[in-house]
Structure 1
Amino acid sequence: MNVPDIVVFLGRFHPLVVHLPIGILLLAFLMWSYDFWKKSTAFSQAIAFSLLLGTLGAAASCLIGYMLSLSGGYSDQALNWHMWAGIATTALAAWAYLSFTLKLKSNKNEHIRWASLTLMVIVLSITGHLGGNLTHGSDYLTEYAPIIGERANQLPLPRQVEAAMVYDHIAKPIIQAKCVSCHSDEKKKGGLSMVDAASMMRGGDSGSLFAQPFTENEVLRRIHLSESDEDVMPPKGKTQLTEEEKKILAFWLKHSGAFGLALDSIGNDSINHLAAVYLGLAQGGYDQAQMIALDSVPRATIENLITEGVVIRELVAGSNSYDVRIPSSVGHDKGIELLKKLEPLFENIIWLHLSGLGLKDEELTSVETMDNLVKLRLDNNDLTDEGIKVLSNMKSLEVLNVYGNTLTDSCLVNLSDVKNLKTVYAWKTGITAPRLGKVMLIGAESSIE
């Protein structure tokens, strides 16, 4: 529907105008309550005048509210309930006003006043609640309620950021704070609701929320527009996304919502650091109390590896203990070559990232000799149960990520031999057991609802 700009302009005054009759009608009810309690008529004229103003104000609110509804973007059912409740409030206010001005038998008139004013306040409250649902979403009132509220039932934060869920812990709070007021089931700007995963997967008028190629994603484009731009999300006048929130949402969009996935299953050090700051969590803390004395590695050796593309970070200054990552961008063959060149550092590697290199079972044997390795990322490779056997003798390994490998429960026999293993990230594998003794198998299929 093509609506004249002047109609939309006037309609947007609805939130401003509607609060005036609400206050006036509630004041009339309070004055009447006082008179009723004191068995007095001291406020009768003031009540009648307030009811007249409130009725006129409510009628004006209904009119400009209808104009606002023509701009679209609202659920028809929610809008109709709010509209008819507003009309009912106006009618009850008018009825109450007449009860204070018409000459009726005293007893009958008192009953009409009592009924009309009481019903008016009840319907007024319902109308306000329905209007709040249109603006903020249906769970706005109960979000912080104990036991039943959304906040009371959200997932608790883990101790380490790597275990944080991409959607539930990181993206969802931003979406609820900055997006849902315009994209709820009651108010679908652009035909898009962001209240849950199913709604977001359906998308809106512009297509899928997670449209590819990623660089042409419509939501990504809108959140990076200037605040003065007509298409910016959130719209100008509302609290804008911070740069950190934009980066988090961009990461979330790029991974198609990453519903049910933890950060550690994706493997992105930059977003891990950003999320750690955003959530106030420790990022894979290295316990200095458990630090062992390690021999130094020639600086030239480390510099040569860095020059060839290996990312190397000392965990604690002067500790000679390193976090080492071979980026997936180097490719399979180069990755295997670099893994062999890490041999001078084998005793000093505490964390090792080998994500997305296409590693085969037989290419994993060198990892077995890294005696001090605590955290190992093997996600998105071509490993099978056979390849996991080489890990069984690793005495220091505590955290293992095997996301996206062709593994089954058969590999658990070998994992049970890893003495200090505490956590295994097993999304997108054939592993189904949720636990292995004291070891948590996070993301195993049997633990996902």
Structure 2
Amino acid sequence: MIPDLLSFIGRFHPLLVHLPIGVLFVAVVFQWMQFRLHKAALTVALVTTLWIGAIGAVLATVTGYLLSQTAEYDREVVDWHQWLGIATAAISCIWLLLYYRPQSRIIHLTISLIVFFLLLITGHLGGTLTHGEGYLSFGGADEDDTVAIVQRKPLPDVNEAVVYTDIVQPVLQARCYSCHGTTRQKGKLRLDEPALLLRGGKNGSVLAEPGGEEAELVRRLLLPLNDKKHMPPKNKTQLTAAETALIHWWVKSGASFDKKVKEVETPEKIKTTLQDLENPMSIAVVAEKPLEPVDAADPKALQALRERGVVILPVSAGSNYLTVNFVSVENASDADVAMLKPLQKQIITLKLADSRITDSAMQIIGSFRNLRTLYLERTPITDKGLARLASLKELQHLNLVGTNISTTGLLSLSTLPALKSMFLYQTAVAKSDWNKLQDSFPRVTLDSGGYQVPILVTDTSRIAPKK
């Protein structure tokens, strides 16, 4: 392990590396201009540029080597990047020295081409180390998207699911692999394989619970968002409260990699979360653009809603965004929805299934500018009320199962830019309109429900004989 001072110097590599890249590209341009124009002034400019570029390349190579010793990156890519970087610095120095000895202009031109291609390849590998594989692809994603958008299908029977493989690993893949996977290993920690997860990072195990304290993995998740040790960093997409709870439960239960849910002791609150994994609206694990920070909700408004029986939870540790659920409120009405007005900036998920809200409440809901998921199953809303949601630019998932909504009402939402899925089982949408809806919502998953599962010869169910 290199001393801390040298490690600190290595951290300057990203700062130093861009200067020689730009300067050497300019030197290549000067070389080609000199080849065509034969100007003495260009020779002076070229030599000056080469001095700056060569010295900068050497400094970038030294700091790059020191940075590589922190072992936070994929070793194979690092090795290629390192040796090509050394080659770039060495050939740049040779190019400079040749200007102090009479040489053929063809030799200078050839060396400039070699440096040009070395810069391209070495720079690309550096980008791969920093931003991940595929960062240069068309429609390339942000750094946080290098883990790709991860979606898992609903679990057919959560009790038969393997806790790590089916529940925990998809969360780690979506939220953690970009910094602790094959490409990067911050803190010398990899979370993409069980053996590496068990090994831990530079500070030791992340799963052990020393002296009854929280395991390091869980502790980092539960730290306040503004704490510099909170994970993921606050500029990344955060885990939801449910995802954090599931990982906490997995670690507390012994962090097994092969046990099924039915084999692990499960608290009641976790059972509810697990059941949600059978619901297609609840199990998407997607790398989304982080929301803009908002102020904390009004404590008095929160207290009043909780006294009414409304369940209000933060979407993740340290976040001011909220999930609001009226599941425990009997006969929730428009007046109850009106109580949400002080929270209109903070609500990201709203669950109003089986409530008695009307179109009047939809006017209020239409002002919740950050709302992403809305459950309206079996409510008496109409097409007129649904049209009032057309202002929800962040809305992604909408559940309208068991409502009287028709094709006319749905078409009023066709301009919503973020919409991803709508659940339309037992609505007033005519079968003959289905193709029209699919044409109007080409990027939206329209779920009509009413699935029929065939009985297989291997099924254990028994059909009673006819009497």
| TM-score relative to the length of structure 1 | 0.49
Bigger radius of gyration among the two: 1
Instruction: Report the structure, 1 or 2, having the larger helix content.
Output: 1
